[in-house]
Structure 1
Amino acid sequence: MPTTADTVPYLDISASDFAMASEAVRDARDAHWYARTNYGIAVLSYEDVSTLMKSPRMIQGSAKWPQHHGVHDGLFHDWWAKNLLVLEGEDHHRIRRLANPAFSPRKIKALGDRFDELANELIDQWIDSGEVEFVEGFAAPFATRVLCIMLGIDEDEWPTINRLASTVGAALGVNIKAEIQEIDAALEELHRYADQLISDRQQNPKDDFVTRLVDASRDGDSLSDAQLQNLLVLLIFGGMDTTRNQLGLAMQSFIRQPHQWELLASRPEELAEAAVEESLRVNPTTRWVTREVVDTFQHKDLTFHPGDTVHMFTYASGTDPEVFSDPTRINLEAERKPHYAFGGGVHHCLGHFVARSDMQAALPALATRITNLGIVEGGDEWMPDSGNTGPVRLKIAFDKREASETAQG
């Protein structure tokens, strides 16, 4: 039967009760490869997200986010317009080309032992209590201190960095206009941190991430101080917020599947990568990735026009039953197609290897030390299940794992 406007599903993605992990989204995906929404087209199936995420006829779709929500000037507005997330064409390619060496997997991997130490140091602080508020006790300090380690910021500064990055993160919520004064103030402070780091490394180079960015050069080209500042602020803001949320979502997933948690505990080194990838696939913090159409084109039964907004539903595509067996459940031993939790195409997340590396340290450390996990009744509070999500609070009860348990596994 030909597709008509009446047969294409509709989703109100701004509704207070809208949720990605809902029957409404599953029914829409079963009915058709896309849905119409009050903010453009939502692409639901894995096959179509995979194709369209990489389309050269679309650009990153968040460039006008501040203006769409009534913010037309100020520090965040001006910073957002120049950051790597929204730049296109040669400006985007040039900065990525210059910045890529700083994100060398070999250099990030060299920090793995320190990430392991940090994870266990944090666990030591609460393991004997049998309960922990996971965001405050692990996810936030771990994600933030990892960035401090990478950037050469004193780790004691992590509460300040966490507060500033979380405040700037509010800019991605629909209440941005009401909170813009606090957001701009936090961004100004992050700019000062970045400026101090750049100035210090220019005068006192070290074998670290910031020095590699400062020294980045290709064919006589290099990053300006303003571009360095912008990139460092983006890394602090984006890297901390995303990893903190994703760790909480991973714990939620494993609490639902204790057998998989025990499997990870028994083979932590072997299954660390799968634990991260499966957590990202079934429960990503970035529930959708947005694109804007720049050239008219046809995909299947739909014509896209310049200016159209297209949301790639990463949660729906990552749990598509046409591609994944038992799609909403973690399976650490299954072979899976790649997910799109870090986006795709030219805007694939530059810091994905950092996020993957620190989570590959965190999850095995947790699994080998605590067992019999459960969420304390009334102890969890969550951001809306749309856009970017994660726990605000996540109080977990657990048993301390005896060393012999993992040795026997």
Structure 2
Amino acid sequence: MTQADLHKDDAPYLDVADPTFSIRSRAVMEARDASWYARTPYGLAALRYEDVQKLLRHPKLRQGSYRWPAHSGVTGGIFARWWESMLLSQEGDTHARLRRMANPAFSPKLITDLRPKFQALANRLIDQFAAKGECDFIADFTEPYATGVICDLLGLPFEKWRELADIAGEMGLALGVTFKQDLPVVEAATARLMAYAEDLVAARRAAPSDDFIGMLVQANADKSQLSDQELIDMIVLAIFGGIDTTRNQIGLAMAMFIEHPDQWALLAEQPDLAKAAVEEVMRVRPTVTWVTREATEDFTYNDLPIAAGTTLHLFSQSACSDPAVFANPDFDITADRKPHFGFGGGAHHCLGHFIARGDMTEALKLLAQRLRNPRFNGTVSWLPDSGNTGAISMPIAFDPS
């Protein structure tokens, strides 16, 4: 069957809303072999590398994640209001204005200055369990590490890490396919983080500072730059977004290396490979398994009519193992690869990608040197393997270096 002959109703169907569905399943690979796209409960899904690359920046597509609550059957509440209003869901001038407000907190120079703090934090956390030869990698490392990085970045006290990590984990349930059933937990967590952000604003107004939150509070003095609600929404995004995705991604990295012990040994021997290791992990096991766009008008792509309002999920997971582009897609931190889509692309390319790359690089470098021969040490508890995914708990054992 040629692409032109493939009618929309005949395209493969993937039930990505099913919590038991895996984005890495054979069904996805077979769908990718048969067609550049599939039908899903949320709209269409692009499966191949070339198409994902083109559609990320297509001029007739806008950022589409703003409709995620509605796709999940959630049409009101605190989280949906915040999600649909915050920076990542905006377009045009509003998006550009809000992004300018956030840019200073995520500059490459700032991340370079923070690297010694990343290293100190990682070593301090590893010190707490290294001699035991075992830990819950999520509870003992990825959660306090991801949260501690955000505390350093935003000028928050590290002592708050447990509370903030719990809130981020509970809010993060909204980004998975079980959002609606988890709604009460999500709403309560969002309300707690909103209240925390309001307290931070009050504290910075009483005692001005030159950190990121202090800068936002100063910008809020001119309501045309940043409204009161936009101020709170931005702080919530900076805390939640930085914790949830980094925690999940480092956990997924450990899972990949446990499954590929030769690569872990290589990283321990050559710590300079840590930067490439981050990119390779995000290619094969991204926490954000798809990027979303929405058609702003009717158009045709690859002979397929796409109506205005259609949601397209761009499957970064399947695109980055596409055999048409990756002749040998196996996990290899020494391979020269085309760019992955773990941070999205175009105008909505992840604002925090510099800090995510920087803190994960330092973490993997030190973990590989200090934890030898890591292996699973019990049952790993996972979020559903689509949407935003990751481990809830991951007991591991290792040989201390």
TM-score of the pair, normalised by structure 1: 0.91
- Return the alpha-carbon distance in structure 2 between the equivalents of residues 392 and 244 of structure 1: 10
Please give the alpha-carbon distance, in whole angstroms, between the structure 1 residues aligned to 2:300 and 2:146: 41
Deviation at 1:172, TM superposition (A): 2.3
Partner AA of 1:51 in structure 2: K
Q: Choose the corresponding residue for 2:17, options 8, 14, 18.
A: 14
| Cα deviation 1:1-51 (Å, max 9, x = unaligned) | 342237532222223432111111111112221122232111011111000
SS of residue matched to 2:156:
coil
Two-structure CA RMSD over aligned residues (Å): 2.0
Equivalences for 1:382-397 in 2 at 5 Å?
382-397=382-397
Count of residues in Structure 1 that have an aligned counterpart in Structure 2: 397
In the other structure, the counterpart of 1:155 is 158
* Equivalent pair of 2:151/2:157 in contact (CA under 8 Å): yes
Q: Report what 1:51 is aligned to.
A: 54
Q: SS at the partner of 1:98?
A: helix
1:233 counterpart = 2:248: no
Matching residue of 1:306: 308
Contact 1:282 1:315 in 2 (8 A): yes
- Residue type at the aligned position of 2:283: R
**Alignment partner of 1:320 is 2:319:** no
Matching residue's letter, 1:353? F
Q: 1:212–1:319: structure 2 CA closer, same or farther, 3 Å change rule?
A: farther
Corresponding position: 1:108 with 2:108: no
What is the identity, as a one-letter code, of the residue corresponding to 2:190?
Answer: L
- Aligned-partner residue type, residue 389 of structure 1: T
Aligned-pair identity in percent equals 49
Of 135, 138, 151, the match for 1:135: 138
Q: Does residue 1:171 correspond to 2:148, yes or no? A: no
- For 1:90 and 1:4, the matched residues in 2 are separated by 38
Q: Deviations over 1:291-348 (max 9, x none)?
A: 111112222121211011111001001111221232131x222221111111111111
Look up the equivalent residue of 1:296 and give its one-letter code: D
Contact 1:33 1:43 in 2 (8 A): yes
398 and 256 in structure 1: CA distance in 2 versus 1, 3 angstrom threshold: same
Range that drifts further, 44-53 or 286-295: 286-295
Contact 1:254 1:260 in 2 (8 A): yes
1:289: which partner in 2? 291
Query: Could you say which residue in structure 1 is the equivalent of 2:40?
Result: 37
**Residue in 2 aligned with 1:358?**
359
Q: Which amino acid aligns with 1:354?
A: I
Aligned partner of 2:343 in structure 1 is 342
1:204-249 CA distances to partner (integer Å, 9 max, x unpaired)? 34443323434559x9963233212111101211211111110110
Which stretch shifts more, 298-307 or 6-15?
Answer: 6-15
Q: 1:256 to 1:70 in 2, by over 3 A?
A: closer
* Structure 1 residue ranges, 4+ long, deviating more than 6 angstroms after superposition: none
Q: Distance in 1 between matches of 2:46 and 2:71?
A: 21
- Structure 2: tracts of 5 or more residues without a match: none
Q: How has the CA–CA distance of structure 1 residues 61 and 21 changed in structure 2, closer, same or farther, with 3 Å as cutoff? A: same
Partners of 2:57 and 2:101 lie apart in 1 by 22
Q: What pairs up with 1:91-106 in 2 under 5 angstroms? A: 91-106=94-109
Q: Which secondary structure state, in structure 2, belongs to the residue aligned with residue 122 of structure 1?
A: helix
- 2:154–2:211 CA contact under 8 A, matched in 1: yes
Q: Report the alpha carbon displacement of residue 203 of structure 1 after superposing the two structures with TM.
A: 4.4
| TM superposition shift of 1:272 | 1.9
- Residues 328-378 of structure 1: CA deviation (Å, up to 9, x unaligned): 31x2222211111111111111111121111111110100101111112x4
**Contact 2:105 2:153 survives alignment (8 Å):** no
Q: In the alignment, which of 64, 68, 77 is matched to residue 65 of structure 1?
A: 68
Q: How does 1:174-253 map to 2 (within 5 A)?
A: 174-215=177-218, 222-253=225-256
Q: In structure 1, what is the Cα distance between the partners aligned to 2:207 and 2:19?
A: 50
Is the 2:18–2:177 Cα contact (8 Å) retained in structure 1? no
Aligned 8 A contact 1:101 1:216 in 2: no
Partners of 1:208 and 1:333 in 2: how far apart? 38
Relative to structure 1, the CA distance from residue 82 to residue 267 in structure 2 (aligned partners, 3 Å threshold; closer, same or farther) is: same
- Once structures 1 and 2 are overlaid, which stretch shifts more, 23-32 or 8-17? 8-17
Q: Structure 1, residues 158-190: CA drift from partner, whole Å, max 9, x if none?
A: 111111111211222344344434323322221
> For 1:347 and 1:108, how far apart are their aligned partners in 2?
20
- Paired with 2:208 and 2:117, the residues of 1 have a C-alpha distance of 21
- Rounded to whole Å, the distance in 2 between the matches of 1:68 and 1:39 is 6
Structure 2 CA distance, aligned partners of 1:183 and 1:33? 34
Q: Identify which of 89, 114, 127 aligns with 2:92.
A: 89
Cross-structure match for 2:399: 399
Whole-angstrom CA distance in 1 between matches of 2:181 and 2:400: 44
- What is the one-letter code of the residue matched to 2:376? I
Between the aligned partners of 1:384 and 1:118, the Cα distance in structure 2 is: 30
